[in-house]
Structure 1
């Protein structure tokens, strides 16, 4: 039994349609919502996002991302023992979207389940997969973040609808004699559930409550900057890891102002922060694996680099995972 786990390959998938800020503002104007491309970019750093068409599903994107990660890892689907899919926007209530991916790729030997921690979902899923590998329950794991947040949007709410996009990212995690995943720290505070939520539910075949995503943007901003900085420092202290040894930070891609504020709090040069929010928007649980895959494909993050992955989202949830690629 190997004592650690390590990332062997990454993959990603995006919907067919990229929607620029200008295209989005024209769409919103037709609904009586006033905004501008400049307003969106100035306040968020977002220039475009990808939005699913009606025929595109969460499981389809997750499947494509998973297959690309498997190719990068030089593994076949039947070598996978575990599939964990982080999402708040599954294809249906059940079966899980992870089981749909298992069926599509033919991972006949894998256990599969979803995990729900909103925008922290991927770091939560990665921590669970790492723990299961260390416990000897699996050797090869697919960890996926996949979201269709556009289907939770109230397109009359300018404070939320300009922020989010759809997409999927995945990694293959494998048992390893050396870390790999060096450490994880996860937290939550359910008393803050009111600042970011989607409270609707199905009851008797009808939607009960508000089915749309709602957010107190200022409260989320303050919490995100505080908890992400503290989470990083807590993890580093527990591992006796020096900040100067960190090569890259891959944070949840919510808002470029949050990313810059966290970098400043950690005294980390901005060139060591992976930022993809401009091209993807906020893709919730997909944002960290999408950003990681982009940095790997651009040869920005390379084998041997120390990388901090961070998520923060509704719940309120947050966490950090330190990995050596």
Structure 2
């Protein structure tokens, strides 16, 4: 029998190491104070957590490490064990290896076995895609409980020895935008009083005949043989132009489909590219009655981990009747993503 409602029971997150602020980055890369002030003023991201040790260039934690920690916290918060999980889904743009899939490494560490597992290769939309897969499987696949994970190890694409002064803006901006992290949520088809219901998950490719806004080559900067090859590029101007417009379109589609208005939204989880961009997006969405849940200024853009950090802050605040709107835009090939939650 098809389940009518899917609830979020709990959320857990994990960050590596201590935060690195802009002054820390400036000192390591030998940049002058003007660069630090530029990051503060025009990017608006003050700190990030990195798995790479900038001093040695070695990774101190893997995506599997972070995802396992986040998932264990989510399981504990939900009061369920490994044997209660019927499927596992991971969304990431930065898996540890081609094989084995990181999702299966995480499942093994948690003691989960004998269930379907899925790993989705995607940028910022991957967490929403993972939520959608988990939700649909619970609704139609005869399963009761799903573990959904999102995470990134962006710092494996850093070259700690690079001369930032020699990089063009399309490469330089990535050193200040991104951080590492992981998040996880436990979903259930059981009826749980007080747990928010997932009403809608949007996932739509809209990049036909459009150039990518971001390109990340497969191998990490630390193990790349061709040192002259540009490993990661960001068309920040295209992103600045497109993301606010696409965010409004996502909000209008989700709200219109549910019969909600902007005034009905109690909590807004906006895209988290940078502090400055998030401010522009929120202003354009014009939801003055909604509480904005933002983490990008203190942990940077953690990609597929970020929606879980936002949900972790939101869930404890929810009361009966509260409504939540989450929005994300993946600029790699222009994907619209979003979800709507309600405490019924």
CA deviations on 1:209-264 (whole Å, 9 max, x unpaired) are: 94622101010122111111111111111111222121111123112233222222
Distance 1:176 1:235 in 2: 24
Q: Which stretches in structure 1 are left out of the alignment for 5+ residues?
A: none
Answer whether contact 2:266 2:290 (CA < 8 A) is retained. Answer: no
Aligned mates of 1:96, 1:35 — CA distance in 2: 42
Aligned counterpart for 1:167 among listed residues 173, 176, 181: 181
Deviates more, 1:130-139 or 1:161-170: 130-139
RMSD: 2.4
Equivalents in 2 of 1:271, 1:35: separation in Å? 35
Rounded to whole Å, the distance in 2 between the matches of 1:315 and 1:153 is 22
Which of 152, 171, 174 is residue 157 of structure 2 equivalent to? Answer: 152
**In 1: Cα distance, 2:202 partner to 2:47 partner:** 32
Count how many residue pairs are aligned between Structure 1 and Structure 2.
319
**Within 5 Å, which residues of 2 pair with 1:95-244?**
95-153=100-158, 155=162, 156=164, 157-177=171-191, 180-190=197-207, 191-200=209-218, 210=229, 212-244=231-263
- The residue that corresponds to 1:262 in the other structure is 281
Contact 2:10 2:185 in 1 (8 A): yes
Contact 1:48–1:278 under 8 Å retained in 2: yes
1:290 counterpart = 2:309? yes
Preserved CA contact (<8 Å) 1:170 1:289:
yes
Give the TM-score taking structure 2 as reference length.
Answer: 0.85
Residue 192 of structure 1, CA deviation: 3.3
The residue that corresponds to 2:50 in the other structure is 51
Gaps of at least 5 residues in structure 2 are 53-58, 165-170
Q: 2:265–2:290: 8 Å Cα contact kept in structure 1?
A: no
The DSSP-based 3-state class of the residue aligned with 1:119 is: coil
Secondary structure class of the residue paired with 1:145 = strand
Alpha carbons 2:266, 2:289 under 8 Å: kept = no
- The 3 A distance-change label for structure 1 pair 219 and 301 is farther
Match for residue 337 of structure 2?
A: 319
Structure 1 residues 217 and 238, CA gap change in structure 2 (3 angstroms): same
Conserved 8 A contact 1:152-1:211? no
